[in-house]
Every structure is written in C-alpha cells, then in structure tokens.
A and B are shown apart, each in its own frame.
Chain A
Amino acid sequence: MNLSAQIPRHIARVSLIIVASMVGTVLSADQLTVTTDGNTIWWNTAPGYCCVTVSLDNEQPSTHCSVTACENAAGKSGQFGCNRVGTHVVKACMHVPDSTEKICESKTITVTEPPPPGCPLFTLTALGSKVLTHKYQTSDTYPSGQSRDAQMEVQIKPIRVETGTTLYLRVIDPADPSTYRSDPEPNDNHDTAAGRVALSPSDSGGKTLQFTVPDGPGVVPLYLNTTGFAAGDNYIVQASADPQVVENPEYVCGPTCQQTPTITAWKRIYLEKKRMFRSGAFVVGTAQAGQNQVTVEIPDDARVRFRPGDALRLVHAPPLHGGELFPLFYSEDVIIAAHGVDRVQGANNRRVLTMTTPLQHTYRQEDESVQNAMALGVGDGVGILAAGFYETNDAYVAQAFGRAFVEFQNIATRVAEIPLLPFLPMVREEFISNKWFEHSPVLGRVRPGDENVKHVLGGTGWRDGNKIDVARLGVTGSGITHDVSSPNFSWTFVRAIEAAVQHGTAVTGFDAWIVNGENVVHELAHVFNVNAFGAERWHCSADMATDSTKSCTMNRDTNRGDGVVGFHWISDTDSEYMTIRRTFEPVPSP
C-alpha cells in the first residue's frame, strides 16, 4: 500500500466535499421567488429539484413533481388565487436529488388588490379524509392532516367575508357508503356522541360552532373530534354565514355554504408476523457466543437432514416464563462447515453442527420451567433456509377488512422465524406463540400484546394420528378455548392446507396459497370475536354480503379457495363487518 500516494487523493476528496457544501449553502438562498399579479400570488422554484411542496399561510401544501431526471428537472411554478388583502407567507420545500434532504424556504408577499367577485366568501378544507381512531405505535405516523387520535384538522380560509362576520358550522353524518348494508341513511353513525367541532385541539367541541372571522389573511384551524372506536362512522363539516346551517335541521348546503368532503374513521391494527421453518431443529444445551458448534435435536416425526454447506438461521427468544432483566430476541445466519454434521452416540435425533464461523450470539435450550419444552415449541431453534417456510399469505386482508374500515400494518420484528414443530400441540399453541411474541408489555407466559398488536403465525397444524389433520386449517386463541389469559395469536396451518388441497376435503383441488390467504382473513376476523353469540359459535352459515352466490368467509363449511373474501351482513347486529367496526380499542383478546 502506497500511503503517500493515498494522502493527496484523500485531501482532494475532502476539499470537494467542502466546496459542495458551500455551493449548497449559497444555492438555498433564492430557490423560491414570489410575485403578485393583481390578487393572485405566483410562485416559482429553481430548476434541479424533483418534488416541491408549496403552501400558503400554513394551508395544506400541494406537491409538484417531475417525471424527468431530477438533475434536469425544470423549475416549478404555480399560483394562489382568491387571496385576502394583506401579507401572506409562501413556503416551499424542495427535495434534494438523490438525497432525503429537503431545503425549505419561506417568502412573504403583500396583496393589495381585493379578491375578485367570483371568489368565495371563504373556503373550508379538511386536511385529510381518513382519520384514525388510534395510533398506538409511537414509531407510526398519522394519515395526512391528523396529529391526534380521533381528530382531524379542518381549516377555514376567509377570502371575501368581512372581518367580524359570524360564521356558523355544523357536523353532519352522511349515509354509510358500504355496499353490504341494506339500510344506509344519514345519521347512521354508531357513536352518536362523536362528531364535534372545536376551536382548539384540546376542546371536546360541539355538534355546532360559531366564531367571528378575524382580521388579516391566513387560515383559522378547527378540530373535528371523531369517534374513538366506531370505524366507518363518517362526518361532513358545513359552514356558512347563514345561521340556518345550525338552526334548521333541514338546511341544505347551497351556494352560500361550504362543506368538507366526507371524513371517515378507520381503525389501524398492527400485525407481528411469524413464519415457521419447514426444516430445522431445536438447540440442545447451550451454544455460546464465540464457539462454532451447536448441538441440535430434530423434533419427533420430522425428517430433517443437515448437510455441509447448508445455510442455517439460528433464532433466539428470551425464556417463556420471563425473568430476564434485558430480554432479547435475535437471530443470525451461519453455514455448516465441510464435515460439519456429526451424530452422537445414543441419541438418534441429535446432531452436532460445526459452522464455518463462530457464533455472534448465545443460543440455548429452554430447560428450566416448561416440562417437555421442545414438544411445545419452547426453545431456541435452527432452520435450514433453503427449505423455506410455512408462512401466511396476507394478500386478501386489505380487501376484506378495508370494507370494515380497518387497516392492518406489519410491525417490525427482530426475529421473523420460529422453530419447526411437525405438529402443533393441540389447543396448547399459546406456548410456542407466546415464546416468540415480541411486542408485548409483559414477556412472560402470558403475553397480551401491545395495544392493537396482533400476533399472526404460519405453521404446520394439528395431529391426526401420524398425519396432519386436514380438517383444521387454523386456530385463533380465545379465552374459552385456550387455558391462558389474554391469548393473542392467530395461526394459519399452512402444512395442513397444503395437504388438505390434495385430499378429499372441502378445499381439495384449490390452490393452497389462495386457501392460505383466505384462512388468514378468517382467523383475523376471529380476533374481533365475531359471531360470539351466534348459533354457529364464532362462525356463521350466511352468504357473503357482497356476493350472495358465495358463503361468508366465516362460514365453517365454505369452500375457501376461490380468492374471494367477504363477510355477511344480515342486520346491524348480525354482521361481522359491524362487529369488527365497533370493537372497542385496544382490540382485546377474544
């Protein structure tokens, strides 16, 4: 290595970075220019930026993007019309090419010419149309326009209306747009106490409001407080200088009235997903960080063969009974060395695996509290990556639950896989489920899960003698079926499904992946304790509301495998959709 030859290049590289920074600083001074043309405000941004967001007086910004390469992107321009007389602030943020960096610049401009007669007296804007009942995860973000649970910001922008004028607002409840309901009509929201508009975010507000138009340009923010649980409840805010808007229930919003688009409440549920190794074993004893060997035990009834060169993933979870001061979940990938698979005397199902590199972490058998731990899936494990996974297909979740105004979001996990169990212990799935469940305030035998976090797992299935039970395609924990409090797990038995589509069952001949996806929807619906009081006990015998030629996805005997999912709606009180929509949050264990 020629050190002296390297030094000049290093200095040159540093110098280039310094120059580039200086150029960046200089460049940011005049990226935005604003001018007026009568009552209209014009803005222009410099070329070279892909996307520009521009806002006037803290209104909802608009975004302008180029389809060409950013370096050659032309400058953007636009206008704001119908402005009040006075000083306005235009703010533009420009995204630096090939970077997450943003440059923002604000300019003030004074409008002296009054708005033309064609401009409205004022505008009424909702900053978003979807409002979450709750956002439980702090790392998550609200939809546009929302910064608090169950609250949407609404803005009134006075234009031609005189300062000191009283404006009147009311919140109305438009008909539910769901196509599965036969009875949608105005004022059909379930949470009738919600839908209140306030002048400050901490006020509960009222169904009606009045306020006096202030002097000067700029928007007046208002806060619509929506339901905290009834997903699908919807609202429109109307405003007018005519007091009839609040005095007359029959008032129809006309030319002198402004109204927002429909704002709808949604629930957001987080999914912690796990998939099971198709081939693997459990760790025996302890394999300490720094050593290159691990002894493993192949589960009963599994046919697993480890070979030199196999890429493995080791997975660790803290002990099921808890007690660790700093409980950790981790995993790492290793390769079996040449001649790295050895049998051991007297233990036909154990192997010593020697890796090409030392372990970064420690892995151990969970052996201190749970009798027959391995048979219950409780213990660190290893999987052969090339064999793949039993994993869930969530392709149909958005379609099914979107109609119930529920959206699911995957939550990050430290460990995505769980060890192989050829057969899950029947009605004792809480052991393996809770052992590997990360997002819970308590990491013990009982794991209720963080607020609105649901644990979804893909695995094998129940046993039927020496075969997989093809009659059971999944299970969701409930306080009635499982002998643990707050069971939070929802299984799709992928291995059982793959066998069921081959044999003489209701799903024979269907695509296993599609059946898998439909089953995920079925099990997730159980999480909301649907049909709790029905004759079918958590299931139904009804047809799908959106297609009466098909059975509801919660129908126990439905031929699940056509890729169409949906629930039934017989009445407001007999519908999985309505049960799901109205479940209080955080969504409890069934």
Chain B
Amino acid sequence: MRKHVCVLVLSVLVALSVVASGAPRRMDVTLSIDRAETVLGLSVPLTLRIRNAGPPILLAQRARLRFTRPGGGSFIANKGVEGVEWFDIEVGPDDPDALSYDPLPIGTNQTVEVAIPAVPFGHPTWTRDTRLRDHPGVWNVEVLLYDERDSADQPLAVSSKATLSIVRPDERDMPIWDAIRRKEYAIVAEKLYREQPESSLLPYLADHLPAAHPIKKAEMLRRIVELHPNSPLVPYLRSGIVYFLRAASDRVYGETYDVERAVALANEARAEAMKLSAAPDAWSKIEGKKRLKEIPTRGYFDSLEKHRREKGFQKEPRQ
C-alpha cells in the first residue's frame, strides 16, 4: 500500500511539474457526424472524442464551429446573429455543486466523449448562419475547443474534419418549408402530427406542439420517437419525455396530493432517463445522467406531505 501511495504521489508530482514547466498540450480530437447528409435548416449532432495525451486541461463547455467548402474559403459559424458563435457542448460534470458552466477537467491520458446536439426549429444553431442557410453543398466541419483558462482567441485544439453534405429540401415538401420559413412552427407541427406523422420534419417541430398536460406532451413525444427512431432529434425528444413526465409528477402532486400517483410518474420518468443514459450516443449518455439526478424520489414527496400536514391549510385536493 505504501508503495502504491509513493507511486501515486510521485505521479502527481510529475504531473504538476509537467504543468509547471509548460509542457506542450497534446490533444487528439475526432469529430464524427452520424450521417453524411442533412437538409438545409436541419441540424445534426456533432460528437467529439477527445483524448488528452498532454497535461491536464479544463475543457470549456463551449466551442466554435468552422465550416470550409472544399477548394474554397472557411468561416466560423454563428447562430444567425453576427458574433454569436459559441455552441454549448454537453460535458455533464459529476459534481452536484458545480455551476452549470464549470469546465470539465480532463486528465493526462484520459479520453472523453462530448457532443453538440441536434436541436429543433426555434433553437438558434449553426443552420441559421446565413452563409449556410442559403447555400447547400458539401462542407468540411471542424470543432474548435478551448481551455477555460485561455483567451477566447486561442483554441486549445481543433478537431479532425468531418464532411457533411447539405442539400435542398424535396420539392414535394416546399409548402411545408415555406410555412417554416414564415416561422409558422406551431401550425405546421400540429398539421404534420395530425396528418403526416411520418414526415421527417416532425421531430424538428415537436417542440412547438401544444399540449394541455405534460403527460399528454410526453405521449406525443413517445409517438414521434416510435415513428422516427433514427431521427437526429431522438436524443432531444427522449430528454423531453423525461422532462414532461417529471413535470407531470410535480403537477399531479400539486393538484391532488396523491403521493402514489406522483411517485409512479416520477418512476416512469426515471425509467426513461435510464434508457436515455444507456443510449449509444455521447449526448444521450450525459443528458440521461443529468436528468436522473433531477427526478424526485418518494422521499421528496413524503417531505412535501410532511410540510403540508404540519403547516399547510387542509385544502381538499382536486379529483
């Protein structure tokens, strides 16, 4: 044991001395995009496998994207607003006391997977950059990563290039796209859900489907996921299912004080969060773990009941 402790201490000292001496950083960052093609305006997830072969780093939870046309110029993508160029990357720190944007420490010889997710219409993302939005074609994509301690002008590492072909929408979908261009998201979403649920655009519009109850919204998202199991939006929608089931448990308790029903819904949310965290993609793994921590337990509802009985007015619950 003492030998192991000595080795450990020695390793730490070596690591610190390497840092202190300004040892060069060596990062291998591989960018992968799980599909070769997307339609103008539809985002896809960008997954990064980061191997740190150098001294420990503090990975900032944001990155920039560089798009290059083969044989042409390159630019840093924005979110449709000039100068708004940072894209959040989900890193999922384990420390429950960490602030939501605390950087992720990556030690020497450590490998992590992070992601920039695909998002629905209405979320600002790289597809809204006018240099991409109106220009289909084949693009090389790179992700620029940063150490939290460095200047925002100095990337820590640049990922490998991944190729993405951005194509025009199918002519048959033009009326829908025209409505999307007019930002009539809710109208299109409801119409597709009712009449064309098989449309590949529906997952990108699910955010805009109104529902009268979170349970209903969770059901809608489940249906969409069943119909589109390979959509790039599936991780986001699964996260939504967890969110709405958890919200339903809060609402049910607040309206009826039915602890059993609230716990059942929370357990359903937990099951969905575990499915999410077991998914193969990096974002789902991280997001699932985050969501799991948020889901209330029976103890939570029991403590609410305790406070209500001790101090609350005895109001009859709604049936």
Interface residues of A (CB under 8 A from B): 284-288, 290-293, 295, 300-301, 321-323, 337, 339-340, 342-348, 352, 354, 358, 364-365, 367-373, 426-428, 444-446, 463, 465-466, 479-481, 483-485, 537
B182–A369 CB distance below 8 A: no
B315–A291 CB distance below 8 A: yes
Q: Which chain A residue has the least Cβ–Cβ distance from B252? A: A285
The verdict on A427 contacting B250 (CB below 8 Å), with A290-B313, A358-B313, A483-B122 known, is no
CB distance from B134 to the nearest CB of A (A): 13
A427–B243 CB distance below 8 A: no
- Within 8 Å by CB of A344, from B80, B255, B304, B318, lies B304
Answer whether residue B247 sits at the interface, using C-beta atoms and an 8 A cutoff. yes
Q: How far is the CA of A370 from the CA of B128 in the complex (A)?
A: 21
Q: How far is the CA of A284 from the CA of B214 in the complex (A)?
A: 13
Chain B residues contacting A444 (CB-CB under 8 Å) are 186
A322–B210 CB distance below 8 A: yes
Answer whether residue B308 sits at the interface, using C-beta atoms and an 8 A cutoff. yes
A369–B307 CB distance below 8 A: no
Question: Would you list the 5 A-B pairs with minimal beta carbon distance, nearest first?
Answer: A285-B254, A286-B254, A367-B247, A321-B210, A285-B250
Chain B residues contacting A373 (CB-CB under 8 Å) are 247
CB distance from A261 to the nearest CB of B (A): 47
CB distance from B303 to the nearest CB of A (A): 4
Answer whether residue B251 sits at the interface, using C-beta atoms and an 8 A cutoff. yes
B128–A483 CB distance below 8 A: yes
Q: How far is the CA of A468 from the CA of B250 in the complex (A)?
A: 31
Give me 5 A-to-B residue pairs in the complex whose CB atoms sit less than 8 angstroms apart, sorted by A's number: A284-B254, A292-B311, A354-B311, A446-B183, A483-B121
A368–B217 CB distance below 8 A: yes
Chain B residues contacting A537 (CB-CB under 8 Å) are 82
CB distance from A444 to the nearest CB of B (A): 7
Answer whether residue B281 sits at the interface, using C-beta atoms and an 8 A cutoff. no
Number of interface residues of B (CB under 8 A): 58
Q: How far is the CA of A364 from the CA of B60 in the complex (A)?
A: 35
The verdict on A368 contacting B214 (CB below 8 Å), with A288-B315, A354-B311, A483-B183 known, is yes
Q: How far is the CA of A481 from the CA of B83 in the complex (A)?
A: 11
B296–A346 CB distance below 8 A: yes
A-B contact sample (9 more), CB < 8 A, given A295-B304, A367-B247: A285-B255, A321-B210, A345-B303, A346-B297, A367-B248, A368-B247, A371-B207, A466-B102, A480-B80
CB distance from B267 to the nearest CB of A (A): 14
The verdict on A323 contacting B212 (CB below 8 Å), with A345-B300, A483-B80 known, is yes
Chain A residues contacting B183 (CB-CB under 8 Å) are 446, 479, 483-485
B240–A344 CB distance below 8 A: no
Chain B residues contacting A354 (CB-CB under 8 Å) are 307, 311-312
Q: Report B44-81 CB contacts with A as 1/0, cut-off 8 Å.
A: 00000000000000001110000000000000000111
Q: How far is the CA of A284 from the CA of B252 in the complex (A)?
A: 11
Q: How far is the CA of A429 from the CA of B148 in the complex (A)?
A: 26
Q: How far is the CA of A290 from the CA of B186 in the complex (A)?
A: 35
CB distance from B172 to the nearest CB of A (A): 24
The verdict on A371 contacting B243 (CB below 8 Å), with A285-B253, A321-B210 known, is yes
Of the candidate stretches B27-35, B93-101, B154-162, the one touching chain A is B93-101
CB distance from A232 to the nearest CB of B (A): 32
Chain A residues contacting B214 (CB-CB under 8 Å) are 367-368
Chain A residues contacting B253 (CB-CB under 8 Å) are 285
Chain A residues contacting B300 (CB-CB under 8 Å) are 344-347
B79–A427 CB distance below 8 A: yes
The verdict on A483 contacting B250 (CB below 8 Å), with A292-B313, A340-B311, A369-B210 known, is no
- Within 8 Å by CB of A348, from B96, B102, B311, lies B96
Interface centre among A292, A347, A369 (most CB of B within 10 A): A369
Q: How far is the CA of A352 from the CA of B208 in the complex (A)?
A: 32
CB distance from A476 to the nearest CB of B (A): 12
Answer whether residue B105 sits at the interface, using C-beta atoms and an 8 A cutoff. no
B217–A369 CB distance below 8 A: yes
Interface members, chain B 267-317 (any A CB < 8 Å): 296-297, 299-300, 302-304, 307-308, 311-313, 315
Chain A residues contacting B81 (CB-CB under 8 Å) are 427, 481
CB distance from B314 to the nearest CB of A (A): 9
Chain B residues contacting A291 (CB-CB under 8 Å) are 312-313, 315
B182–A485 CB distance below 8 A: yes
- Within 8 Å by CB of A345, from B61, B297, B318, lies B297
CB distance from A80 to the nearest CB of B (A): 62
Chain A residues contacting B182 (CB-CB under 8 Å) are 485
Answer whether residue B36 sits at the interface, using C-beta atoms and an 8 A cutoff. no
CB distance from B147 to the nearest CB of A (A): 12
Answer whether residue B211 sits at the interface, using C-beta atoms and an 8 A cutoff. yes
Q: Which chain B residue has the least Cβ–Cβ distance from A321? A: B210
A337–B311 CB distance below 8 A: yes
- Within 8 Å by CB of B299, from A288, A346, A371, A479, lies A346
Q: Which chain B residue has the least Cβ–Cβ distance from A426? A: B84
Chain B residues contacting A428 (CB-CB under 8 Å) are 122-124
The verdict on A483 contacting B123 (CB below 8 Å), with A287-B254, A346-B300, A465-B148 known, is yes
Interface members, chain B 93-115 (any A CB < 8 Å): 96, 99-102
Q: Which chain B residue has the least Cβ–Cβ distance from A320? A: B210
CB distance from A490 to the nearest CB of B (A): 16
Q: How far is the CA of A484 from the CA of B102 in the complex (A)?
A: 31
CB distance from B83 to the nearest CB of A (A): 9
Q: How far is the CA of A364 from the CA of B248 in the complex (A)?
A: 12
Chain A residues contacting B223 (CB-CB under 8 Å) are none
Answer whether residue B126 sits at the interface, using C-beta atoms and an 8 A cutoff. no
Q: How far is the CA of A345 from the CA of B295 in the complex (A)?
A: 11
CB distance from B213 to the nearest CB of A (A): 5
Interface centre among A300, A321, A339 (most CB of B within 10 A): A321
Q: How far is the CA of A144 from the CA of B297 in the complex (A)?
A: 66
Interface members, chain B 226-246 (any A CB < 8 Å): 239-240, 243-244
A368–B304 CB distance below 8 A: no
Chain B residues contacting A340 (CB-CB under 8 Å) are 311
Chain B residues contacting A284 (CB-CB under 8 Å) are 250, 254
- Within 8 Å by CB of A295, from B122, B186, B254, lies B254
Q: How far is the CA of A428 from the CA of B82 in the complex (A)?
A: 15
Q: Report B181-219 CB contacts with A as 1/0, cut-off 8 Å.
A: 011101000000000000000000001111111101100
B296–A347 CB distance below 8 A: yes
CB distance from A379 to the nearest CB of B (A): 10
B124–A369 CB distance below 8 A: no
Interface centre among B99, B210, B248, B299 (most CB of A within 10 A): B210
CB distance from B101 to the nearest CB of A (A): 5
CB distance from A341 to the nearest CB of B (A): 10
B121–A368 CB distance below 8 A: no
CB distance from B29 to the nearest CB of A (A): 20
B244–A371 CB distance below 8 A: yes
Chain A residues contacting B303 (CB-CB under 8 Å) are 342-345
B254–A345 CB distance below 8 A: no
CB distance from A467 to the nearest CB of B (A): 9
- Within 8 Å by CB of A285, from B99, B123, B124, B251, lies B251
CB distance from A309 to the nearest CB of B (A): 15
B121–A301 CB distance below 8 A: no
Q: Which chain B residue has the least Cβ–Cβ distance from A344? A: B303
A342–B243 CB distance below 8 A: no
A483–B244 CB distance below 8 A: no
Chain B residues contacting A323 (CB-CB under 8 Å) are 210, 212
The verdict on A372 contacting B184 (CB below 8 Å), with A445-B208, A465-B101 known, is no
A426–B124 CB distance below 8 A: yes
